[in-house]
Amino acid sequence: MHRLKKLDVVVESERLQDVLDIIESSGAKGYTNYEISSGEGKREIRQDITGYQYPYKSTALYVVASEEVAKKIAQRIYSEILEESAGILFLSDVEVIRKDHF
């Protein structure tokens, strides 16, 4: 087992490409995108099309990478996107079997 960091990101869907640009330019080998997410938080209820209640959709994704890369991505997303848009970040420890995939 190999210890890495997992960065979970939830952003307004209109900012997804900005987040992907940051991830791709950071040295991360990939990400997983959940497309549309729903939930409730500081900025009201957000639901998918079937329960549409808010005009903006959110997208959730995660990245598994070294601590250095994950922190670099998190700092850029915060300073370039989250200071002006809705969203959240979570950084946690994970263990992976195939370190070469990340």
- The per-residue pLDDT for 14 is 86
What average pLDDT score do residues 33-58 get?
A: 61
- The per-residue pLDDT for 61 is 94
DSSP string, 77-90: HIIIIITTS-EEEE
Read off the pTM: 0.80
What average pLDDT score do residues 11-19 get?
A: 91
d(CA 22, CA 41): 25
Compare 24 and 54 and report the one with higher pLDDT.
24
C-alpha distances (whole Å) from 43 to each of 8, 62, 90 are: 18, 21, 18
> What are residue 77's phi and psi, to 5 degrees?
-60, -45
Helix (H/G/I), strand (E/B), else coil: 59: strand
State the CATH class of domain 2-101: alpha beta
- The per-residue pLDDT for 54 is 53
- The per-residue pLDDT for 44 is 56
